[in-house]
Amino acid sequence: MANIFIGKMSQKGQIVIPVALREALGLEKGSKVSFELNGREITNCVRLG
């Protein structure tokens, strides 16, 4: 079963990634992330580098 994380979009259009997801992906300030969009769903999110 997939883990579900909920983020929130700011007025500037920035999405806040929950701490648990940032830790799981090893994301830090300045990390780059790739998103794959299929229709209206993000189906893949990968840390680059």
pTM over 0.85: no
Task: Give me the domain span that covers residue 16.
Answer: 8-48
The answer to the question of residue 2 being in a domain is: no
The answer to the question of residue 1 being in a domain is: no
Model confidence at 14: pLDDT above 70: yes
Q: What is the mean pLDDT of the chain?
A: 89
Model confidence at 31: pLDDT above 90: yes
Residue 13: the pLDDT is 94
Band (1; pLDDT cuts 50, 70, 90): low
The answer to the question of residue 17 being in a domain is: yes
The answer to the question of residue 3 being in a domain is: no
How far is 37 from 1, CA to CA, in rounded Å? Answer: 21
Task: Calculate mean pLDDT across residues 7-36.
Answer: 92
Q: Which residues contact 43 (CB under 8 A, 6 or more apart)?
A: 36, 37
